[in-house]
Structure 1
């Protein structure tokens, strides 16, 4: 279903997408591109596997490990790939999207589970809770939940 208008999607074509791993190894995936069947919408959507994060070349596992400080620039497996600047960017990216992520997740859960308004006003961080409860794997859960519900995590949030 199209996350924009709710109409069915149909397969349009495939495109190659790079998936980088620690150490510089690259894998290529053939990603299905889906098109909305609604004549007024007609938007394209990429069907990504759980190991990929939209707008990122590295996999969710390595991004998650860097953000959680499991991996760093001094680790032997990540000496050159990803570089330290990329690692710092991922940390910056998540910290600048944290309020956006929490807001979208609370809004969707409020709608889906019919939770009271107190849930929306709560200062508790759902992202922090997920990072503690689902490790490893929290990043793929968060991205799938948000993107499959029609939301978006900004690839380059405003500074």
Structure 2
């Protein structure tokens, strides 16, 4: 099994559970994903991280392809 590393202190992350994450596909349909939650065991850090799949953009509800398409449309409006 692949080991996940804390991006802050480089400690090895422990799995503490999972949560549902919703995203919007390019077609407009809603998709439910299960995302692993992990905690850094380092007593100085103790941060919680979520393991996102490549199709998701952090802090966005749209999938990467939809987000790029929307961004391009917006940028075309402003020369």
Is the pair's TM-score, using the shorter chain for normalization, greater than 0.5?
yes
Structure 1 match to 2:18 = 14
Structure 1, gaps ≥5 residues long: 70-87, 92-159
Name stretches of at least 5 consecutive residues in structure 2 with no aligned partner.
Answer: none
Q: Which runs of 4+ in 1 moved over 2 A?
A: none
- Whichever structure has more strand as a proportion of its residues is 2
Residue equivalent to 1:38: 42
Contact 2:18 2:36 in 1 (8 A): yes
Aligned length: 71
The structure in which a higher percent of residues are helix is 1
Contact 2:21 2:35 in 1 (8 A): yes
Contact 2:11 2:40 in 1 (8 A): yes
Q: Taking CA–CA contacts closer than 8 Å with sequence separation of 6 or more, which of the two structures ends up with the larger relative contact order?
A: 2
1:3 has 2:4 as partner? no
Once the two structures are superposed, the pairs formed by residues 49-128 of structure 1 within 5 Å of their partners are 49-69=53-73, 88=74
1:100 alignment partner in structure 2: none
Rg larger in structure: 1
Instruction: Supply the distance in 1 between the matched residues of 2:30 and 2:6 (Cα, whole angstroms).
Output: 30
Output the aligned Cα RMSD.
1.5
